């Protein structure tokens, strides 16, 4: 028998032997490779959106004038005389929050500040006569950096002024009619609406530079200006959260 015929015969024998092992002996071909060649796992990571709060607790801020040492805190006239004695230029004189709380009894200050704020500057406004000014009486700056270390347009997020305006406050309290925005608008005002925050009317005046909120308590008028990059919600939170400044004065160590 030739070698070629022998090889052909052996091939037929092998096929028949395999066929005898079951109904579908070739069905499992390739199973071994599929067992160890795993499909790649695709991991999908969803982006987590972090929403920062519009406001923070004012207790987190540093007051740039808290280190001022005051000798006369028991009497308003003596205090104003002491503050006036350190005047260096215009009517706005650097003063601590303790001094302002004494100079303006019952004055309020927001318990919250815009997210990103870190510092508060504070000033009393005293006329050349040595008397406390009515318009405004005090001013506060809310800063994202050490006050005056950077441009106001960049680092000064908001400004709060307090004016002694009891006459208008009483007029508003006794009024039964809606008060016009024209009372507070100026040449830069492009829009105005009257809101109710913390159960009191608040005038909201918008301009290209930012937003100004105006409100009253029985003795004072408050005007809060926030730059265009400051959240409107944060400014409204400041109005609604206002408390007595005396309550924010740190206890003596």
What's the pLDDT tens digit per position in 148-193? 999 999 999 999 999 998 888 787 777 655 677 888 888 899 999 9
CA distance 245 to 247: 5
45, 140, 198, 225 from 160: Cα distances, Å: 45, 5, 18, 6
- Length reported for the chain: 253
Q: What's the pLDDT band for 81 if we cut at 50, 70, 90?
A: very high
- Band (16; pLDDT cuts 50, 70, 90): very low
Q: pTM of the predicted model, to two decimals?
A: 0.78
Task: Please state, for a pLDDT cut of 90, what percent of the chain lies above it.
Answer: 62
- The torsion region of residue 198 among left (phi > 0), alpha (psi -120 to 50) and beta comes to left
Residue 217 has pLDDT above 80, yes or no: yes
Maximum pairwise Cα distance, the chain = 136
């Amino acid at each position: 028998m030739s070698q070629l015929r022998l090889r052909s015969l052996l091939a037929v024998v092998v096929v028949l032997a395999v066929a005898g092992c079951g109904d579908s002996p070739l069905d499992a071909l390739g199973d071994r490779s599929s067992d160890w060649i795993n499909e790649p796992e695709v991991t999908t990571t969803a982006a987590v959106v972090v929403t920062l709060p519009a406001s923070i607790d004012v207790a987190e801020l540093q007051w740039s004038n808290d280190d001022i040492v005051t000798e006369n805190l028991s009497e308003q006239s003596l205090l104003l005389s002491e503050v006036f004695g350190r005047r260096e230029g215009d009517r706005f004189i650097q003063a601590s929050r303790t001094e302002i709380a004494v100079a303006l009894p019952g004055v309020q200050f927001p318990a919250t500040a815009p997210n990103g704020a870190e510092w508060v500057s504070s000033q009393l406004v005293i006329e050349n006569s040595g008397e406390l000014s009515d318009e405004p009486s005090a001013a506060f700056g809310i800063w994202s950096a050490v006050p005056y270390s950077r441009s106001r347009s960049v680092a000064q997020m908001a400004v709060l002024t307090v004016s002694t305006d009891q006459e208008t406050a009483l007029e508003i309290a006794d009024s039964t009619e809606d008060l016009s925005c024209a009372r507070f608008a100026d040449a830069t005002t492009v829009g105005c609406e009257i809101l109710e925050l913390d159960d009191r009317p608040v005038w909201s005046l918008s301009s290209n530079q930012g937003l100004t909120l105006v409100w009253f308590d029985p003795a004072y008028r408050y005007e809060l200006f926030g730059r265009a990059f400051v959240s409107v919600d944060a400014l409204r939170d400041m109005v609604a959260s206002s408390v007595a400044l005396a309550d924010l004065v740190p206890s003596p160590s």
